[in-house]
Chains A and B, each alone.
Chain A
Amino acid sequence: MTAQTGWKQEPDDQSERLYSLTLALVQTEVGLTKDEIFMSIRGYRLDLERAGGFHGDLVALNKKFDRDKEKLRELGVQIVPAANSSEGDSDYRYRISREIFEWPEGTTISSKQLQLLELAASLWDRAALSPEATNAITRLRAIADIGDASISQGIAPRISTVEPSFSPLKKAIEERVQVSFSYRRADGQEAIRTVEPWQLAHINGLWMLLGLDVERGAPRNFLLKRIHSKVGRSKQVITEPTPEQIANAKSELAEVFKANVAKIQVRPGTTAAMHFETHNLPKGEVELNYYDLALLAEELLEFGQSVRVISPPELKELIRKTLEQVISNHA
């Protein structure tokens, strides 16, 4: 590695202040009061001096401290009250439990395992979970063996989260709050749905929200790409779903997929024949499973005149109508 141009000195930023705050609160046995924290940490002390000491206007400084506490909480570092200290006390004392630094005894990661973790994290490159994956890897590097980091696995798996609803739904799931959004069903009907969100599942290349449809009182699956509004949040806190509820929702989905069968014919020597693996079949006919007609139509429309639907007739009709609309949209 050689020096490269374009590098800039890092500013004295929040990360350094948070780092100092973490050290100070981990090392204290009895905890630190807010005043002691403001005097102990350089990032706060400078603001305190500028404000003219503890008798000055400390509104901005207090807000800064609150933001930092929230940021540390997001980073998984919880600031807790020290023993015998509770909210409202004039000498309320803060500390950070050492428990968050305690990995299972003897935990180490080989350099090969670190590469596998990097590969797993790379799945989220340019997608919504990229910061989480990168930050996890950074922490895991501390317990990883030093090794050759340049061996390629020859693959770069990636997943995308282009749906704007992904991040708000993820947050709602983490915070266990109810959501509502406008949802356009496969038949084009649009309605507001209120949902207790359970899980975002990536199934067959599609992001789906599994959750409890509040009005229907039953579990439902929602395709993220059919959400046609911002995701609204209510203050209604929901109960955590059980693994059985998630498993049942997925198994119902799998049953729908299995029960829906369409038959198509594929023209030989085309990309469609490769895609549907009909190149060795004499008639080029193949049966396909599907979640709903609109999704299957989407897959078939890409291949234009290289495929034709044999059954069901509703699929044939849907494709015909869609093609007519595409023609009219591009006239």
Chain B
Amino acid sequence: MPKLKFSLPGDERYNTLMSIVALLQREDEMHIDDLAEHFEVSRESMRSMLATLNTTSFMPRNAEEQLPFYIDLDRIDDEDGMVCLELDNGPQGVPTITASQSVALLSGLRYLKSMPDFEESDDVDELITLLRGYQPVVAGIEIEPTKFDSDLSILKKAILTDKRIECLYVNSKGEESRRSIDPLLLISSEDHWYLRGYCLKNKEVRTFRLDHMVDAEIVDIPRSEDALSAAKKLDETAPIYSPSSSDVEVELELQPEAYQLAGLVGAVREPSKVGEETIRVTIKLGYLPDLGPLVCRYGTNARVIAPEAAKEVVRKFALQALNDDTSWGDLD
């Protein structure tokens, strides 16, 4: 269930007012709850916008002031809750979408189309055809199809068919194990895909990186009650890493090349500028050794400021990588 909005930003409120009228002109009448659900706003917010439509007025040239619409609010509040335009002198329809709106949706649709299970979707094709008419000849923004993890399709199927999966997984400590997971949601963030799922071993919802997982297969067991109840509480918009009170705070300085690090882990407070383009951020980590690969990846563009233990983790990780050439002979 999408989150309902209680207050809309100005642009969205303008567009919603337009769209409500257009929809009511098409549908004749609708229940206020259905109308609110369709626009993903609370009943109260919808009631407020309907009241606004009633007070919207203008005076056409050389004429009396007129109300273009009238909606019987008493019927909504005290009778059957149905909404209709009793008086309707307004324009028909809703404005078409702008070029930049079209680019935003088209880039998303093209990304979906490159994903497993969406390549053949006629619905996606129809939408692309419809929206293409509103974008400029050359789109200012484009998302190129990316390489998708081979397990993505299997995991998506498991979620949609309510089934458990088993896979081989290596955690960030380097421990390899066979896992049974009730999958809940696949999330992409930066350049990785993650699975949020109920881990049968740990008996809680965990986040798994798909590129640390192999050989995922669906098992013919429905997802557990615990997993389904966790699914109901799942916030699809929550960041990948949710800090907890026991996490360690780490202060970092980042150059533009490493800003992504803050986006990936999530800064716990607003970053501050310490140089022309250098920012200082504080992140929270549950397992400090995770910091080694995270910081090392960005080389000299990311630097731990505090605490000392965090600096030591990064130094140790880099030292091990630097002095490791001797132990590779066994592989040949």
Contacts of B276 in A (CB 8 A): 228-229
Residue A129 at the B interface, CB < 8 A? Answer: yes
8 Å CB contacts to B: which residues of A252-275?
265, 267-271, 273-275
Interface status of B331 (Cβ within 8 A of chain A): yes
**Docked-complex contact B325 and A75, CB < 8 angstroms:** no
Minimal Cβ-Cβ distance residue in A for B90 = A23
Per a CB cutoff under 8 Å, which of A201, A225, A275 touches B256?
A225
Given A135-B11, A308-B325, A329-B303, A227 and B23 contact (CB-CB distance below 8 Å)? no
Contacts of B296 in A (CB 8 A): 301-302, 304, 323, 326
Contact with A along B1-35 (1 / 0, CB 8 A): 11010111111111111111011001100100110
CB-based nearest B residue for A242: B138
CB-contact partner of A75 in B95, B123, B156, under 8 A:
B95
Q: Mark B260-293, 1 if CB is under 8 A from A, else 0.
A: 1011000000000000110000000000000011
Enumerate chain A residues within 8 angstroms of B11, measured Cβ to Cβ: 15, 75, 131, 135
Chain B residues closer than 8 Å to A32, beta-carbon distance: 61
Q: Which of B72-80, B181-189, B199-207, B241-249 touches A?
A: B181-189
Q: Which residues of A contact B160 (CB under 8 A)?
A: 153-154
Whether the Cβ atoms of B140 and A173 lie closer than 8 Å is yes
Nearest CB on A from B136, distance (A): 8
- The CA of A22 and the CA of B17, in the complex, are separated in Å by 11
Pick the contact of A155 from B185, B214, B293 — CB < 8 Å? B185
Contact of A104 among B36, B130, B174, B331 (CB under 8 A): B130
Asked whether, in the complex, the Cβ of B127 is within 8 Å of the Cβ of A1, the reply is no
- Contact check, B19 vs A141: say whether CB atoms are below 8 A apart: yes
Chain A residues near B33 (CB, 8 Å)? 1
* Cα of A66 to Cα of B90 in the assembled complex, Å: 24
A40 within 8 A of B: yes
Q: Is the CB of B111 within 8 A of A157?
A: yes
A15 CB contact (under 8 Å) in B10, B126, B141, B214: B10
Given A40-B60, A139-B18: A113 in contact with B127 (beta carbons within 8 A): yes
Min Cβ gap B115→A in Å is 8
Hey, which chain B residues are within 8 Å of A233, CB to CB? none
- Tell me, rounded to whole Å, the shortest Cβ–Cβ distance linking A1 to chain B: 5
A265 with B328: CB separation less than 8 A: yes
Those of A279-331 within 8 Å (CB) of chain B: 279, 283-284, 297-299, 301-305, 308, 319-320, 322-327, 329-331
B143 interface residue (CB < 8 Å to A): yes
Q: Is A89 an interface residue (CB 8 A)?
A: no
In the complex where A174-B100, A329-B300 touch, is A8 in contact with B7 (Cβ < 8 A)? yes
Given contacts A23-B56, A320-B322, contact A139 B97 (CB under 8 A): yes
By the criterion CB–CB under 8 Å, are B98 and A323 in contact? Answer: no
Tally A residues with Cβ within 8 Å of B. Answer: 142
Contact A330 B299 (CB under 8 A): no
* A142 x B48 contact (CB < 8 A): no
Interface residues of B in 201-221 (CB under 8 A from A): 209, 211-214
Q: Do the beta carbons of A149 and B40 come within 8 Å of each other?
A: yes
A101-B96, A229-B276 known; A155 vs B256 contact (CB < 8 Å): no
A27 neighbours in B (Cβ, 8 Å)? 58, 60, 68, 89-91
Q: A218 an interface residue at 8 Å Cβ cutoff? A: no
Identify which of residues 21-74 in chain B touch chain A, using a CB-to-CB cut-off of 8 Å.
22-23, 26-27, 30, 33-34, 36-40, 42-45, 48-49, 52, 56-61, 65, 68
CA distance A2 to B34 in the complex (A): 13
Contacts of A218-243 to chain B: CB distance below 8 A: 225-229, 240-243
- Establish whether residues B156 and A139, one from each chain, have CB atoms under 8 Å apart when the complex forms: no
Docked pose: A134 CA to B105 CA in angstroms: 9
Q: Contact mask B223-264 → A, CB, 8 Å, 1/0?
A: 000000000000011000000000000000001110110110
**Is A138 in contact with B137, judged by CB distance below 8 angstroms?**
no
Judge whether B187 and A331 touch: CB under 8 Å. no
Q: Which residues of B contact A157 (CB under 8 A)?
A: 108, 111-112, 115, 187-188
Contact of B109 among A116, A159, A304 (CB under 8 A): A116
Given contacts A138-B39, A143-B22, contact A19 B17 (CB under 8 A): yes
B234 to chain A, nearest CB (A): 9
Q: Does A84 touch B at the CB level, under 8 Å?
A: no
> Across the interface, do A132 and B104 meet the contact criterion of CB distance under 8 Å?
yes
Query: B303 to A330, Cβ gap below 8 A?
Result: yes
Q: How long is the Cα–Cα vector from A74 to B328 in the complex, in angstroms?
A: 60
CB-CB contacts of A5-33 with B at 8 A, as 1s and 0s? Answer: 01111100111101111111011101010
6 A-B residue pairings within 8 Å (CB atoms): A113-B123, A173-B141, A243-B138, A271-B170, A277-B214, A326-B315
The 5 closest A-B pairs by CB, nearest first: A205-B191, A120-B108, A76-B98, A154-B159, A136-B101
Taking A117-B127, A133-B108, A273-B170 as given, write out 9 further A-B residue pairs in contact, using a Cβ cutoff of 8 Å, ordered by the A residue number.
A1-B43, A10-B7, A123-B143, A132-B100, A132-B104, A142-B93, A146-B30, A283-B331, A327-B322
